[in-house]
Amino acid sequence: MILSFPFIAPAGISLSTGWHARDVLRLRFIDLFSGCGGLSWGLVKRGWKPVVAIDSDPDAVETYNANFEGVALCADASDVDFRCMDVDAIVAGVPCQGFLPLSRRTRNRDNRNGLFRHILRALVARPDFFVVENVPAFLDWWSGRMLIRQSRKLGYKVEARVLNAVDYGVPQHRKRAFIVGSLNDGIAWPDSNPLEERLTVKDAIGDLPREISWTGMDLTNRSSEATLARIKAIPPGGSRFDLPKALQLPCWRKHTSGSSDVLGRLRWDQPSVAIRTEFIKPEKGRYVHPEANRALTLREGARLQTFPDKFRFVGCMSSIARQIGNAVPPVMSSKIAQVFELGG
């Protein structure tokens, strides 16, 4: 089944002939691989309007529709006919799992690495600009290089940068690649915040209770007695390397190097590490609360990703954690919108 959407752009606006920041309230966009809507949220806050969002995760689609105008569809991008779409922008957070360092051995066999082609298909509708977000390795892999090369052949001026979200108002170190393209002349990247203005874990979640209710977004993974004993022994900012030998796993005793983030405790006075999809599991990284003997809750992870508390998530605990970890931080997406506003 092919989905076709004959959207009509608002009268009186033609971005291909130049535009100004005051026009931003009329910008209409499509969000591909939209997830729960982190990329859309920041754009909407700046006045952009989502016309349709496409994702194959039913829970993420429900979350998107719970927070926006019900424009998200659960569909495969290959089933969408973009030729009749008349919108101003395409934004896309292409699935990144195939480009992560742990996926090096299987990159050539990961079908998700070819999903960028649907962005090129969408560009035949000639939106005035596009934004693509992914992990930094995307730029070095054939998928990223091909996307840049082919979009330039379509007439877009294209620039790519790796940005750290902590430099743009997000309380976590999260390096991501952004590829932006424009049919207009200007692409002006927003200035990063000064070092002294970086937000910390305490800025994001310091007002939340240490003891949790185990309801709603106040949920996290329940640790086993053995894991809980280890967590209790970890000092502020520490990790598995700080555990006494009696609490170390046999494999940890054999391998004294490696990731220092496993069973790591966050620091109040520093930004968080990148919030990934399993942040509710303390064994997966530095996701232990700075004081409480538990992993981060869904709410705390969402806060560190800059989702407002009023944002409504749909799904079970693991699904919501996945949606949060996969998202573009909304504050970051708001900054990315300025790439075009400043350059217009």
CATH number of the domain to which 180 belongs:
3.40.50.150
Domain count, the chain: 1
CA-based torsion, 132, 136, 142, 146: positive or negative: positive
End-to-end Cα, the chain, rounded Å: 38
Question: Residue 47: helix, strand or coil by DSSP?
Answer: coil
**Cβ atoms within 10 Å of 137's Cβ, excluding its own:** 19
pLDDT tens sequence for the chain (344 residues): 555 554 433 333 222 323 333 344 568 999 999 999 999 999 999 999 999 999 999 999 999 999 998 999 999 888 888 887 889 999 998 885 544 554 455 455 545 556 788 999 999 889 999 999 999 999 998 889 999 999 999 999 999 999 999 999 999 999 999 999 999 877 889 899 888 899 999 999 999 999 999 999 999 999 999 999 999 999 999 988 888 888 887 776 666 655 667 889 999 999 999 999 999 999 999 999 999 999 999 999 999 999 999 999 999 999 999 999 999 999 999 999 888 776 65
Does the residue 319 lie in any domain?
no
Does the residue 299 lie in any domain?
no
96: annotated active-site residue: yes
pTM value is 0.87
Q: Distance between CA 99 and CA 135 in Å, rounded?
A: 7
Does the residue 244 lie in any domain?
no
Distances (CA, A) of 236 to 134, 273, 279, 290: 32, 15, 18, 6
Quick check: 201 and 273 in contact, CB under 8 A? no
Distances (CA, A) of 107 to 34, 104, 179, 269, 325: 22, 5, 20, 37, 21
Q: Distance between CA 87 and CA 80 in Å, rounded?
A: 15
Residue 114 sits in which domain range? 3-194+329-341
Does the residue 227 lie in any domain?
no
Does the residue 182 lie in any domain?
yes
* Catalytic residue (choose from 74, 84, 96, 316): 96
Does the residue 211 lie in any domain?
no
Q: Distance between CA 281 and CA 222 in Å, rounded?
A: 8
Does the residue 243 lie in any domain?
no
Does the residue 212 lie in any domain?
no
